Amino acid sequence: MTVNSVRRTARAKVNLTLHVTGQRADGYHLLDSLVCFAAIGDFIDMREADALSLSVDGPLAAGVPTDERNLVLQAARSFGADKGAAINLSKHLPHAAGIGGGSADAAATLLALAELWDLPLPEDVVRLGADVPVCLSPMALRMRGVGDELSVVPPLPELPAVLVNPRVAVETPPVFKALTQKENAPMGVVPECAEVGVFAKWCAEQRNDLQAPAISIEPTIQDALDALEPALFARMSGSGATCFGLCENTDSAKELAKTIRAKHPDWWVVATNFS
């Protein structure tokens, strides 16, 4: 069946854990991470057109490039097809934020264009960004290698959560560079549990090895973690600066988000749930 317009949500990626277990000769780091996805995201809309074009709008569009630096256009070019599409990216997630905004947008673009152009997905999508492979299947997954080795995990419990970004953009390469110990223990076995409290305790025993280096570069991240203190468990996602807190239930997540927003009206604060 041919379609002439497609809409996709690019959900925010959250690293519940992020262990750095080594470094390859080419400089890329080996990861062991439990990844899940929030119920919020950017939106990609596209329709058939003679040429390839990108427009960006939405509440967090400021500062997002509309030229070839944008992963959406790089994803479109990676098909190697001489085809056009008018693409609009509606930005609701902060960029350079550790929640895979660019990778999620790229993955949503790949899936949408495969449908619009009726083509198979390009190979080697990890070259677009380490989080692109996992963002192609937005569900809880264990991510290893440089982001390209994915495996299924037991179903996670309901995870009501709050996402907090103190509105500082953090570039990933300097954070990896600031990590002195590259060989660290891998993540433990993901437990099968139905209770968010039990799961939060397991998360607390795991790590995000990029959290301390990111805080050394951008100390405000610690303020975001402190603000999430009432949660069952709080940690930074990816290379920051977005932090998340897991909460007992939806109401407590909404209440915590409200409290943080009142204290920090300039921060990006969202009550959501992860799956």
Contact residues: ligand C5P, CB under 6 A = 28-29, 31, 129-131, 146-147, 172-173, 176
| For ligand C5P, the closer CB: 210 or 228 | 210
| For ligand C5P, the closer CB: 172 or 275 | 172
Tokens 């039990």, residue?
198
Cβ at position 127, least distance to ligand C5P in Å: 8
Cβ at position 146, least distance to ligand C5P in Å: 4
Q: How far apart are CA 214 and CA 177, in angstroms?
A: 10
Q: Which of 13, 32, 91, 223 is catalytic?
A: 13
118 is catalytic: no
Containing 201, the helix (H) or strand (E) segment is: helix 196-205
E strand map for 121-257 = 141-145, 149-152, 159-165, 233-236, 243-246
Cβ at position 29, least distance to ligand C5P in Å: 4
266 is catalytic: no
| For ligand C5P, the closer CB: 103 or 206 | 103
Q: Which of 42, 131, 209, 223 is catalytic?
A: 131
| For ligand C5P, the closer CB: 176 or 199 | 176
User: 128: exposed, middle or buried (C-beta count within 10 Å: 0-12, 13-18, 19+)?
Assistant: buried
Containing 32, the helix (H) or strand (E) segment is: strand 29-48
Q: How far apart are CA 275 and CA 273, in angstroms?
A: 7
Cβ at position 125, least distance to ligand C5P in Å: 11
Q: Identify the sign of the CA torsion 91, 93, 94, 99.
A: negative
Tokens 């290698």, residue?
145
Which residues have a catalytic role annotated?
Answer: 13, 131
